[in-house]
Structure 1
Amino acid sequence: MGIFQINEEGEIRGAINPSILAKTFIYEKKSFVFKDSKKNVIKFLNLCLQEIKTFYNKFYKLLEERTSLFEGIDTIKGQ
């Protein structure tokens, strides 16, 4: 489908296979839309990106909480 990477600044960069683009999207009224629904691709991708960022933030917060919990247990055991 394509190659995507997240750089050190947290930006997502990538390239999508052009043949897949041609099968899925069309350019209409100065924007790309899905062939079947005619919904704006950029708006959809921005929504997806926002959902990914929300998931990442929640997951990272959960990891921080779990890590601090385990650090607290190690401190108690060490006493």
Structure 2
Amino acid sequence: MGPQRIVCLTEEPTETLYALGEQHRIVGISGFTVRPAVARREKPKVSAFTSAKIGEILKLKPDFVVGFSDIQAGIAAELIGHG
């Protein structure tokens, strides 16, 4: 079954999930997401590349957050700190 409430902190996982027909699982995206264009209209934007609206992410109650490498380590650490 896998994660049902996904926050994508970068564009690539958003694009991949849309391509797989799994966009219904995405609850939040990066403000830098441009592909697919429909994602910008449908999904709340909760992060930039190196910063995020932690409170907004937590309100979405994600069960999986996808980030990018160590560049977003601070965001990951803050989310982990909130459980």
TM above 0.5, yes or no, is: no
Higher fraction of strand: 1
Whichever structure has more helix as a proportion of its residues is: 1
Indicate the structure (1 or 2) with the bigger Cα radius of gyration: 1
